[in-house]
Structure 1
Amino acid sequence: MGCAGIAVRRMLPAFEACPDIEIAAVASRDEAKARQVAERFGCRPVHGYAELLEQDDIQAVYVPLPAALHAEWTEAALTAGRHVLAEKPLTTDRHRTGELLDLARTRGLVLMENVMFVHHHRHEEVRRLVAEGAIGELRAFHAAFTIPPLPDGDIRYNAELGGGALADVGVYPLRAALHFLGHDLDLVGARLVQGPGRQVETSGAALLSTPGTVTAQITFGMEHAYRSSYELWGSEGSITVDRAFTPPADHVPVIGLNRGGTVEKIRLEPHDQVAATVAAFAAAVRTGTLPDTGATLRQAELLDEIYRSASRGEPNGTE
């Protein structure tokens, strides 16, 4: 549903390569674009999103539209009886996110938010190391995802389309904090900064905490030098992960384990997180196993809390 860049570059090739998926159709409001993309992936073009949901051979729908349109078309797809894989964030409103998750559950449909890094096997290895006490008792978690400036006309600078650094790149370190620390994280404080001439926040940071003794600090932005990393600090050591959120399929993942004054580099086999995500979605649809959506809902709640409660400022410090 839509011919967004991520759909053409990453998701459609992954759908095409998955033995459990057949691409039936590609829909766009631009008829010529639908034809062009459909020809590339050997499927039929459909003019308009509503028309796609009228097709009787469509079992599931992928929604890569601008964030502000996710709720409308995800709801339409679920109402039409289709399973949905939707780009993150699932919606721009915590209440709408909850409503859609409830709708999917009530209808027995798979609704998955496309946060792909959680399907990469490196993060399960990090979880195992922490659980086995490799760094002692966990004390703190730091994560950052920042990207260079985007072209001026990019939709991520458009407030009406749900743009902004928090929803676009902030979701990665926030989801990572939930992935490693659990869903009981509470917001302590946050700061959002709006760059010159922009109508949305272009950077920010937040401090969160578990009910116990663990704090989480996340940093995000889209007018920065590139960074994609997280670090877990314990009472006896630390774990560092670089290229954490969007590694290419052939990237050799490395986990840095620091303890006792030495650094061990744990290298894993490359893993295609896009293919792993697509396979997980297809398996859920085929087996009728509804995914655990607790992290998706808590993420939506925290995104809302950060946006509503954050202090705001300009890059030069003026209010």
Structure 2
Amino acid sequence: MSPASPGPEGPAGGRVRMGVLGCADIALRRMLPVIAAADTAELVAVASRDAAKARGVADRFGCAGVQGYRTLLERDDIDAVYVPLPPALHFEQVAEALRAGKHVLCEKPLCTTHAEAAELMELARRHRRILAENFMFLHHSQHDRVRSLLDAGSVGELEVLTGSFGVPPLDPAGFRYAAPLGGGALLDVGVYPLRTAQMFLSGEPEVLAATLRVDDATGVDVAGTALLCAPDGVAAQLEFGFRHSYRSRYALWGRSGRISVERAYTPPEQLKPVVRVQQQDRLTELAMPADHQVRNALAAFTAAVLAGGDGPVGEAESLLQARLVDDVRKVARVFTD
């Protein structure tokens, strides 16, 4: 006999029964091992359009393998789904999951446009289900420490934020180089420094200028920059791309010093990242505790579900993120290679 479908009050038994829509690399490497090992989640099933792939992943993680996303969504032994599909597929599949009564943890970016993101948020409210955008880096404790240093006045009033996320060229056959699937550097790595600007700038920043460099062969942007300005005049200078040497960092430049984070976005869970505080005559290196941002992200999602949450989580932040992406596209000067 199958367990009853979850209600808005949250699943019974203290564990969220989860399914996964797709067998993407990020799911296999990062999320599936964490879900399978979590105390607050149970990995029930993995779905793929390819039955053999679904079975292979299911055997690896000790769950059911399902052919087809709709088949998984029709199961009544699943409370929530994780969606690691290419960005252009998020809107349709997240909408289907919400209509099927499932809570949703969706890999970033939630959607490729602000309009789609807003529609999904409204759908989550209507169906009284949790919808969360999975920005895992936000769940690393080093950023809370940076915020406390800034709030304590360790570098004075903030003047400029800089942020960079670049990676070497990726698999040319992957979705990141396919425009119809929502590929491109802006949606893949550019959203990280954009989200960083949201973390530390006050109010809603405006995109003043941007550049995008588009690969003529694929039609996707492979590099870019953006200049943002908060209502109080604090600026953010951002860089991103996937034809770069690896860089994953941001810095906060204040009137009396500078805070820099060198492993900002994808630190391994064993790493004790270093936060540097540079003042006029002093450099302080603070070793942060190792932290598991993937596990923390899942824990935050399952906590919201188990608490009986019945709507979007972080709606304002996700919608602002989507608007900033739209605005970068609108103002960008585009170069082709």
* Whole-Å separation in 2 of the counterparts to 1:169 and 1:17: 28
Match of 2:67 in 1: 47
**TM norm structure 2:** 0.92
Q: 2:39 aligns with which of 3, 19, 24?
A: 19
Contact 1:67-1:89 within 8 A present in 2 as well: yes
Give the drift of 1:293.
Answer: 1.7
Match of 1:106 in 2: 126
Match of 2:215 in 1: 195
Give the drift of 1:53.
Answer: 0.6
Give the drift of 1:196.
Answer: 5.1
Aligned positions of 1:44-193 closer than 5 A: 44-193=64-213
- Aligned CA RMSD, in angstroms, stands at 1.0
Please state if 1:257 is matched with 2:277.
Answer: yes
Give the drift of 1:51.
Answer: 0.6
Match of 2:299 in 1: 279
Contact 1:139-1:214 within 8 A present in 2 as well: yes
Contact 2:202-2:232 within 8 A present in 1 as well: no
Contact 1:231-1:239 within 8 A present in 2 as well: yes
Match of 1:242 in 2: 262
Distance 1:305 1:123, change over 3 A: same
Please state if 1:292 is matched with 2:292.
Answer: no
* Whole-Å separation in 2 of the counterparts to 1:28 and 1:183: 41
Q: Secondary structure at the match of 1:22?
A: strand
Aligned residue type for 2:301: F
Q: Give the aligned length.
A: 315
Q: Secondary structure at the match of 1:23?
A: strand
* Whole-Å separation in 1 of the counterparts to 2:167 and 2:314: 29
Q: Secondary structure at the match of 2:266?
A: coil
Contact 2:170-2:242 within 8 A present in 1 as well: yes
Question: Percent of aligned positions with the same letter in both sequences?
Answer: 48
Match of 1:216 in 2: 236
Contact 1:144-1:228 within 8 A present in 2 as well: yes
Distance 1:182 1:106, change over 3 A: farther
Give the drift of 1:268.
Answer: 1.6
Contact 1:232-1:240 within 8 A present in 2 as well: yes
Contact 2:256-2:279 within 8 A present in 1 as well: yes
Q: 2:325 aligns with which of 303, 307, 316?
A: 303
* Whole-Å separation in 1 of the counterparts to 2:286 and 2:34: 28
Give the drift of 1:153.
Answer: 1.1
* Whole-Å separation in 2 of the counterparts to 1:147 and 1:262: 32
Worse-matched range after superposition: 179-188 or 197-206: 179-188
Give the drift of 1:183.
Answer: 4.5
Aligned residue type for 1:102: E
Worse-matched range after superposition: 301-310 or 165-174: 301-310
Aligned residue type for 1:3: C
Gaps of 5+ in 2: 1-20
Give the drift of 1:93.
Answer: 1.4
**TM norm structure 1:** 0.97
* Whole-Å separation in 2 of the counterparts to 1:298 and 1:151: 30
- What per-residue deviation string (whole Å, max 9, x for no partner) do you get for residues 215-246 of structure 1? 00110000110000000000000000011000
Contact 1:156-1:163 within 8 A present in 2 as well: yes
* Whole-Å separation in 2 of the counterparts to 1:179 and 1:119: 12
Contact 1:183-1:294 within 8 A present in 2 as well: no
* Whole-Å separation in 1 of the counterparts to 2:202 and 2:74: 40
Contact 1:117-1:246 within 8 A present in 2 as well: yes
Gaps of 5+ in 1: none
Match of 1:313 in 2: 335
* Whole-Å separation in 2 of the counterparts to 1:15 and 1:196: 39
Q: Which 4+ residue blocks in structure 1 deviate beyond 4 angstroms?
A: none
Aligned residue type for 2:326: D
Give the drift of 1:288.
Answer: 2.1
Please state if 1:31 is matched with 2:51.
Answer: yes
Give the drift of 1:154.
Answer: 1.7
Contact 1:147-1:222 within 8 A present in 2 as well: yes
* Whole-Å separation in 2 of the counterparts to 1:248 and 1:156: 22
* Whole-Å separation in 2 of the counterparts to 1:300 and 1:183: 15
Aligned residue type for 1:124: D
Aligned residue type for 1:98: A
* Whole-Å separation in 2 of the counterparts to 1:106 and 1:130: 38
- What per-residue deviation string (whole Å, max 9, x for no partner) do you get for residues 37-68 of structure 1? 00111111110001111101110000011111
* Whole-Å separation in 1 of the counterparts to 2:59 and 2:203: 43
